[in-house]
Structure 1
Amino acid sequence: MSASEAGPSRPKRAKIAVKNTDKLTDEELEQILNEQFSDDDYLPQNSDMDSDDSEGDDDEYLEIPRPDPEPPICEQHGDGSNVWQDVESVMPNFQFKRRKELLVTVPQSEKPIDFFFLLFDDEFVNLILEATNEYAEEIFCAGNISERSRITNWKPLQRSEFLIFLGLLFHTGTVKCSKLEDYWKTDPLFNLKCFSEHMSRDRFLLILRCLHFARNPGEGAPKPDDRLYKIKPVIEFFNNKMRNTYYPGKELSLDESMMLWRGRLVFRQYIKNKRHKFGIKLYMLTEPSGTVLEVEVYTGAMDSKGGKGHASKVVMKLLQHKLNSGHSVYMDNYYNSCTLARELLDNQTFCTGTLRADRKGNPKDVVATKLPKGGTKAKYSNEIMIGKWKDKRDVLYISTEFPNTMVTFTNKRAQEKVKPLPILNYNKFMSGVDRQDQMMAYYPCSRKTLRRYKKLAIHFFQLILVNSHYIFNEYSGKRLTFYDYRLEVIRGLLGASLSKPKVKKTSVVHAHQPTKIVATNEKGETKRKRCRQCSKNKITKKTMGYVLDSVSKCIMEINVYDIMFFIC
């Protein structure tokens, strides 16, 4: 090797020396070890050590203080990974500090419409009215409308009219037609008088066209960076209203939901296991009963919650007003990790759910172990339990609340089965978003042709309706099915005219016979009268001495030429 070429590093030379110990003499091996571990490596970085005035023995600087060894229980390695142990550790135990309650006064009338207005209040209605009327003026003043356009007939939207519009909109989910125009058809196959009696077709479509929720940027102003600026007031109102109206119980579930949207959209998502596979993804914090507490809309990787650690950011955002209260949060493997579990524990919040095998910090022996059917294995570290259970397939799970205890339960077929306690509670409480999706799927009232922000707003209207139904059944002292509750709310929105069915007046049908008029005027002439049936048919004719006294159709069964006087 030439002098200009670099040789192996000192650690590499040590490894080579260890491999070739059988080829080296004792003197050569001692020389290599002295070069590898010189005394200078242990000297502190102090320039005074090289001076002649240094005092004391140099050997004292060769001593390296080492701490006493301790058992690696609930510790971490230098790289931040957990140290796992087989022995079951004590799980954290902090109490639930709040209680499930309604934070506002229960309506005295206990009618479904009053519970609906607890969440859909006048403040929200006024926000929609102001934005809608302003947007209608923008459309009218745009200058690219024709004389026959519907917008030329626009009148300012009032509260009573908007509530009728909302009631008819909800009712389109009860009675399903392919087109909105079908609800106003007079064809015997349709003939839904409920719609035409309360609002004309053109007015309904015009309100739907101008429905708006936020102020648009002025002409020449830059477009806002927020992709949800048109729907942001609705999302914020929903979250704040639920936060100030109702506080949930201890158990919470967190999952994603999908709103169908197949149009072009930069943040459209695909989730194969959802009912709507394509659409806008909504992260939801719910109760196991299905009450939606908080919603976050996913708008792509560039938003404030996107990028690395996206799942943890979403969880902490949805739980920011529920931390340090002792809640138990149930999540699936998309969200759970050791890092998130530790962060929630630091905020006095439990978490339980399934876990992905490739998450950072998982115990490798638990992930790689092969189990027989019904077998289980678990490790503990830092008050976190990660376990694996073999049923029909391997299930990896994490919990900070429950140990890996096997419990016996009875299934739907009255058979006794054995499951780990974390899995049993996960199956029991991880159903809130699925129940919400189920209720929303029964009576959908959104339309394919709507703009995406408008369709998303109507989706939130339906969420408010579903939430008010849960609150009604919980605090009104009554119980109604969702179908009956919806109909009562629709009646309340449309007004008192639908509270009782209208009784149609029936009249006796007489034959169309002439009747003699005996009254005369001042000159002694016989008074003339208009025929009742001819007047109804918009025919202006008067009788000379007779009048037709009937409400039946103007059909005469007698020969008019046999009558002395000219009639009609």
Structure 2
Amino acid sequence: MKPADIEAYLAALEAGEISEDEEDIGDDNEIEYYPSAQELLDVLEDENRRRSLDEDRRRSLDELEEEEDSPDPPLVEVEHDPPVIPSCSAPLSGTALWRSRCRELIWKKKSLEWDEDRITFLGNTSLPEDVTSLETPLQFFTRFMNDEIIAKIVEETNLYITQNNIANCPPVTTLELRQFFGILIFTTVFHYPNVRAYWGKYGFQHIMETMTSKRFAKLRTVIHFNDNSLHKPVTHPEHDRLHKIRPIIDHLNYCFSHTVPLEQRLSLDEQMCATKVAHFLKQYLPNKPHKWGFKFYVICSLSGYAYNFEIYSGKNEECQPDEPDLGVVGNTVIRLCRNVPRMVNHIIYFDNYYTSIPLLHYFACQGIYALGTIQRNRLGKTCKLPIQKDFMKETVARGTYEEQVTNYEGKDISVTCWKDNKMVTLASTYVGSEPATTVSRYDKKKEGYHFNTMS
């Protein structure tokens, strides 16, 4: 037998495929099975593992019995024992937290006490001398579009021309940029079918004498407000969708808020910048005069002056460390009101898109009063004001109102529902249903104006 045959035979014998003695094979041709060495080792290892597990289980049971038999330790009295807080798998977000708190509010049927002296304005609304000295619209315009921002635009535009090696495009000058802005303003007042018509046979003489149509078209192509090389990619956590116009936004917001002092009563709402261009930031608001365009969040005075604005970009901004997390809408209001002076009794008005109990509480803690219409689902289930189905019945007289007050973390908040053409629900931190007065309201059924009670 050759060595190779011997090795093959031993391997087969080790694997248990053949018997050591072929004479042991019975008449039924059945081969007795002999486990290999590896299989025996596996069986022994499993047996040892099973014994180890049984030993650990027995030891654990013995320790548990000893703990049950041992006496309990004496109770120790602690002066300020912290409450037991049940563990949860994940912490509640800011929005979920204040919603859970609203469900536990206690509402009482009473009126929030009106105190006119309490809301006396302590701020200063007098215009500075450098503003009152402005006489012409051009002076007001250059107050906001000053030399600083003009120089910034000229610098960024020329940088863009250099970075892209744009042919037949001389550098832009400050005078040329001012002329360009002047033409844009003229085109918003004198409407022509298209831009080239301003340089046509019946064009606008002032525009034709100021700049050629080719140069105007070139400036429309190359004008830039920020360095594109600094624009972070979309995947970057600090990506800014408004990077290209961020210097303009920051400059105008600073000028708006530092030129005219804030009035006591402020209003916060949305505005639309109408446009026909196709853009991913374009929004549709059916209740606005201009339904399609870019959406702005703006805080204004009663006279219509805008102190601060924010362009909706679809990205959630992070809160500052000293600000609560009240959700996307509530955080937007807080950001717009960062420049509102605290503790001087400002009053802010907004609609039911923004109003919430925690937002009113935050402003109350900051010394700012607020009033706004509010959605019923933001009051919690414990608020027992009448529902719209019952309140709008014909048996309920028009002008009927009902008020309830709650204390949210030390601040009184009043909610009043009033029957008008529809049910109106108002929430406030400084005024309730009293004192009540009468207003003239049109009634379709009676075909005329009638006086109804209004809080």
Name the TM-score class by shorter chain: 0.5 to 0.7
Is the 8 Å Cα contact of residues 384 and 400 (structure 1) preserved in structure 2? yes
Whichever residue aligns with residue 184 of structure 1, its letter is W
1:311-460 to 2 correspondences below 5 Å: 311-324=329-342, 325-361=344-380, 364-368=383-387, 370-371=390-391, 372=396, 373-382=398-407, 383-405=412-434, 406-409=436-439, 417-421=451-455
| C-alpha distance 130-386 of structure 1, shift in aligned 2 (>3 A) | same
Residue in 2 that maps onto 1:27: none
1:85 offset after TM fit, Å? 1.0
Residue in 2 that maps onto 1:112: 137
| C-alpha distance 79-250 of structure 1, shift in aligned 2 (>3 A) | closer
Residue in 1 that maps onto 2:187: 172
| C-alpha distance 107-123 of structure 1, shift in aligned 2 (>3 A) | farther
Distance 2:168 2:259 in 1: 39
What is the aligned-residue identity percentage? 26
Residue in 2 that maps onto 1:270: 284
Output one character per residue of 1:369-396: Cα deviation in whole Å (capped at 9) or x when no partner.
Answer: 6232221111012221101111111111
Whichever residue aligns with residue 395 of structure 1, its letter is V
DSSP-derived class of the 1:275 partner: coil
Is the 8 Å Cα contact of residues 252 and 285 (structure 1) preserved in structure 2? yes
Residue in 1 that maps onto 2:328: 310
Whichever residue aligns with residue 141 of structure 2, its letter is F
Aligned residues: 338
Distance 1:343 1:109 in 2: 38
Whichever residue aligns with residue 136 of structure 2, its letter is K
Structure 2 unaligned segments of length 5 or more: list them. 1-70, 77-97, 320-324
1:198 offset after TM fit, Å? 1.0
Is the 8 Å Cα contact of residues 276 and 293 (structure 2) preserved in structure 1? yes
| Residue 177 (structure 2) aligned to one of 124, 141, 162 | 162
Output one character per residue of 1:467-488: Cα deviation in whole Å (capped at 9) or x when no partner.
Answer: xxxxxxxxxxxxxxxxxxxxxx
Q: Does 1:238 align with 2:252?
A: yes
Runs of 4+ aligned structure 1 residues displaced above 6 Å come to 411-414
1:417 offset after TM fit, Å? 2.7
DSSP-derived class of the 1:286 partner: strand
DSSP-derived class of the 1:366 partner: coil
- TM-score w.r.t. the length of structure 1 is 0.55
Residue in 1 that maps onto 2:265: 251
Is the 8 Å Cα contact of residues 250 and 326 (structure 1) preserved in structure 2? yes
1:87 offset after TM fit, Å? 2.0
Distance 1:316 1:48 in 2: 51
Output one character per residue of 1:425-481: Cα deviation in whole Å (capped at 9) or x when no partner.
Answer: xxxxxxxxxxxxxxxxxxxxxxxxxxxxxxxxxxxxxxxxxxxxxxxxxxxxxxxxx
Output one character per residue of 1:500-557: Cα deviation in whole Å (capped at 9) or x when no partner.
Answer: xxxxxxxxxxxxxxxxxxxxxxxxxxxxxxxxxxxxxxxxxxxxxxxxxxxxxxxxxx
| C-alpha distance 419-215 of structure 1, shift in aligned 2 (>3 A) | farther
Whichever residue aligns with residue 337 of structure 1, its letter is S
Name the Cα RMSD after superposition: 3.1
Is the 8 Å Cα contact of residues 107 and 383 (structure 2) preserved in structure 1? no
DSSP-derived class of the 1:395 partner: strand
DSSP-derived class of the 1:247 partner: coil
Distance 1:315 1:218 in 2: 29
| C-alpha distance 164-77 of structure 1, shift in aligned 2 (>3 A) | closer
Distance 2:369 2:304 in 1: 20
| C-alpha distance 317-336 of structure 1, shift in aligned 2 (>3 A) | same
| C-alpha distance 338-120 of structure 1, shift in aligned 2 (>3 A) | same
Output one character per residue of 1:36-63: Cα deviation in whole Å (capped at 9) or x when no partner.
Answer: xxxxxxxxx97126xxxx9xxxxxxxxx
Is the 8 Å Cα contact of residues 415 and 432 (structure 2) preserved in structure 1? no
Q: Does 1:292 align with 2:306?
A: yes
| C-alpha distance 301-222 of structure 1, shift in aligned 2 (>3 A) | closer
Distance 1:248 1:288 in 2: 10
1:54-203 to 2 correspondences below 5 Å: 79=101, 81-91=104-114, 93-103=118-128, 105-106=130-131, 108=133, 110-139=135-164, 141=165, 151-186=166-201, 190-203=202-215
Output one character per residue of 1:309-355: Cα deviation in whole Å (capped at 9) or x when no partner.
Answer: 11110111111111413111110000001111111111111111211
Is the 8 Å Cα contact of residues 77 and 83 (structure 1) preserved in structure 2? no
| Residue 241 (structure 2) aligned to one of 227, 234, 253 | 227
Distance 1:339 1:322 in 2: 18
Q: Does 1:48 align with 2:74?
A: yes
1:107 offset after TM fit, Å? 6.3
| C-alpha distance 412-177 of structure 1, shift in aligned 2 (>3 A) | farther
Output one character per residue of 1:199-253: Cα deviation in whole Å (capped at 9) or x when no partner.
Answer: 111111111111111111169x756611111111111001111122111211100
Distance 1:197 1:271 in 2: 41
| C-alpha distance 181-398 of structure 1, shift in aligned 2 (>3 A) | same
Whichever residue aligns with residue 174 of structure 1, its letter is V
| C-alpha distance 319-77 of structure 1, shift in aligned 2 (>3 A) | closer
Distance 1:173 1:384 in 2: 46
Whichever residue aligns with residue 335 of structure 2, its letter is K
Whichever residue aligns with residue 211 of structure 2, its letter is M
Whichever residue aligns with residue 420 of structure 1, its letter is M
Output one character per residue of 1:2-46: Cα deviation in whole Å (capped at 9) or x when no partner.
Answer: xxxxxxxxxxxxxxxxxxxxxxxxxxxxxxxxxxxxxxxxxxx97
Is the 8 Å Cα contact of residues 252 and 328 (structure 1) preserved in structure 2? yes
Output one character per residue of 1:140-189: Cα deviation in whole Å (capped at 9) or x when no partner.
Answer: x2xxxxxxxxx533222122221111111100011111211110002xxx
Whichever residue aligns with residue 406 of structure 2, its letter is S
DSSP-derived class of the 1:259 partner: strand
1:491-506 to 2 correspondences below 5 Å: none
Structure 1 stretch 239-248 or stretch 296-305: which is displaced more? 296-305
